[in-house]
Chain A
Amino acid sequence: GEDVEQSLFLSVREGDSSVINCTYTDSSSTYLYWYKQEPGAGLQLLTYIFSNMDMKQDQRLTVLLNKKDKHLSLRIADTQTGDSAIYFCAESRAGGYQKVTFGTGTKLQVIP
């Protein structure tokens, strides 16, 4: 079955860049996502990338996809304390209501 793996924890200093990595197994993945979960809140979709893309940039966020290695990363430039949260990598196939498979989440701690 599908599987998505992430490291559990990342600590960075405010102002530095953060890079959160993810690997997945499903070669049929069409969409890859990054979700953010703040304490006591739901899962917020940050950004997504089609599997036929290598990179997507959205303000401070850069997503890199290596489809051959099934590796996805999220880079947050100029990390702020407000970026402290759990970041989930996720994937799905196309098809209207396909289920999303999530990773374990990476807890990002930003040190002032």
Chain B
Amino acid sequence: EPEVTQTPSHQVTQMGQEVILRCVPISNHLYFYWYRQILGQKVEFLVSFYNNEISEKSEIFDDQFSVERPDGSNFTLKIRSTKLEDSAMYFCASSEGGLGPFNEKLFFGSGTQLSVL
């Protein structure tokens, strides 16, 4: 079965540093997402991306965050100046698009554990 690939699986960074989390969505999917899960808390929506622009973003997704699809296969999440509270598991997801739960079904990657020291 096709899968969403995320790299790295673990990222350790110093507070204030920039990090880029990388994702390769499923090749024929049109919608891309980032979610995060702080330890012990809910999986939270960050942003959705379609047709090379942000479709929706949450209040968590402030000016420190940005997303990009630099080429035809990668989808990245950049955090410009990391804070301690950015430590979380970050999940990338993609969906085929169109109406209906099958088309909207999210395929998730296995996540990148970001630790900000």
Contacts and interface: CB of A to CB of B under 8 A. Distances in A.
A95 B111 CA distance: 25
Given A42-B91, A43-B108, A97 B97 contact: yes
Contact of A31 (B56, B97, B101): B101
A41 B33 CA distance: 17
B110 A40 contact: yes
A99 interface: yes
A45 interface: yes
B31 A99 contact: no
24 contacts: A31-B101, A31-B104, A42-B4, A42-B91, A43-B93, A45-B105, A45-B106, A45-B107, A50-B101, A90-B43, A94-B100, A94-B104, A96-B97, A96-B104, A97-B31, A97-B55, A97-B95, A97-B104, A99-B33, A100-B45, A100-B106, A101-B45, A102-B44, A104-B42
Interface in B41-96: 41-45, 48, 50, 55-56, 58, 91, 93, 95
Interface of A: 4, 31, 33, 35, 40-45, 48, 50, 88, 90, 92, 94-105
Contacts, number: 64
Interface string B16-37: 0000000000000001010100
Contacts of A43: 43, 91, 93, 106, 108
* Best-surrounded residue of A44, A88, A102 (most CB of chain B within 10 A): A102
Interface of B: 4, 31, 33, 35, 41-45, 48, 50, 55-56, 58, 91, 93, 95, 97-101, 103-111
A100 B94 CA distance: 12
Contacts of B4: 42
Contacts of B31: 96-97
B108 A42 contact: yes
B104 A42 contact: no
Given A48-B101, A94-B99, A99 B108 contact: no
Contacts of A31: 101, 104
A44 B103 CA distance: 15
A33 B41 CA distance: 18
